[in-house]
A and B are shown apart, each in its own frame.
Chain A
Amino acid sequence: MSDISQIPATKCDTGDTVIVAMDGSEYSDYALQFYYDTVHRPGNNVIIAHASEMKNISFPAIATMTPDSNALVTQELQAEEKRCIELVDKLTQKLNHLKLEGKIERIHGEPGHAVIELANEKHADFIVVGCRGKGSVRRTLTGSVTDYIVHHSHIPVMVARHKDHIKHHHGFHFPNPFHHHKKHDDKTEKSS
């Protein structure tokens, strides 16, 4: 295969280095599944990047300056740690289930920026992301982290969209109190 790549050979000399950004949401699950089913080439070096988001820690807890405040903050930090460990377990299981060799790396700070830094550090060939994540406001067509990565990445980015991801959006709409939107189920099996 002719090599047009201007990046020097990485550890795995036959395949590409791929960063898959995952946050535990169904969207990034779908991104990994799609990558595995449709894109993965043997020899590719897959790195799953997940971010711990200290933003989840509620600010009011920190703001209270009572003697208990340390305990509250510690609890929140521990809860976040626990979430991260659960996520890593889940991701490890997924990799084993797919029989995909890959590393899981934890990244820190603003997720979009951290994914790009990791991609630079690992000399990645491309990045795979879901079209949105766990936290994204559903009114947008694409999540903010995905958007950031697409606009700032120096390397190609694959955004794993699926038509079901769009179904629940019609742009802006006024919620009808008599009509409940069904919770979006996991429809990864629907991929063509």
Chain B
Amino acid sequence: MAAEGNERIVLIAMDGSEYSDYAFEWFWTHFHKDNDRVILLHVPEYHTVVQSPMVMADVTVITEMMQEEERRIKQFLEGLGQKLKDKKVGGKVKSVGGNPGEVICKVANEEGAHLIVTGTRGMGKLRRTFIGSISDYVIHHSHVPVLVCRHKDHHEQQKH
């Protein structure tokens, strides 16, 4: 199989954290090739909204929070689309709900991705692990190669 000239379909998991932003930029500098098709995948999680302590209060409050969350997500997805435009690369932005690790693997299969790119940690607060639960899931379950981009900050933290 020839090296150059083949189109690669690359799926980059984006959750809005600095880690996935870093993964995106790193991929661009070190891995990207001219005829890549890049799929930016976002897996919105609504359960964080519903699990807040307000949930007992009022249906209208929950509805408002959901709508606010949807607005935020829409804005985020537009930002992702802009990223692709700025880099002048063919591809698309997808937003699929569900369990993030599973969704990433599933969408990669559906889209025929050749490579999955993830950061090491996402929006979660738990810092005891060096790699987030979702990246960990994808590394163990993906059917295609996975590029795990460690954020340079981790290096500094590990020095202690």
Contacts and interface: CB of A to CB of B under 8 A. Distances in A.
Contacts of A52: none
Interface string B9-38: 000000000000000011001110100000
A148 B29 CA distance: 26
Contacts of A93: none
A22 to B, nearest CB: 15
A154 B1 CA distance: 32
A157 B131 CA distance: 12
B126 to A, nearest CB: 15
Interface in A141-160: 141-142, 150-160
A15 to B, nearest CB: 9
Contacts, number: 82
Residue from B115, B145, B150, B154 with most neighbouring chain A CB atoms (10 Å): B145
Residue from A4, A5, A159 with most neighbouring chain B CB atoms (10 Å): A159
Nearest to B140: A141
B144 interface: yes
Given A38-B115, A141-B140, A150 B145 contact: no
A27 to B, nearest CB: 11
A38 B139 contact: no
B147 interface: yes
Residue from B130, B147, B154 with most neighbouring chain A CB atoms (10 Å): B147
Interface string A19-63: 000000000000100101111110000000000000000000000
Nearest to A166: B143
Contacts of B41: none
Contacts of B143: 161-163, 166
Interface string A114-152: 000000000001100000000000000110000000111
Q: In terms of DSSP, what is the predominant structure of the interface of chain A?
A: loop
B114 interface: yes
Contacts of A185: none
Contacts of B85: none
Contact of B146 (A37, A155, A158): A158
Contacts of A154: 150, 154-155, 158
A170 to B, nearest CB: 13
Contacts of B144: 161-163
A68 interface: no
B3 interface: yes
Contacts of B145: 31, 34, 38, 158-162
B114 to A, nearest CB: 6
15 contacts: A4-B29, A5-B30, A6-B152, A38-B114, A150-B139, A150-B148, A151-B130, A154-B154, A155-B150, A156-B30, A156-B147, A158-B147, A158-B148, A162-B143, A166-B143
Given A5-B30, A161-B139, A166-B143, 8 more contacts: A125-B30, A126-B147, A153-B150, A156-B26, A157-B147, A159-B142, A159-B148, A163-B143
Interface of B: 1-3, 6, 8, 25-26, 29-31, 33, 112, 114-115, 130-131, 139-150, 152, 154-155, 158
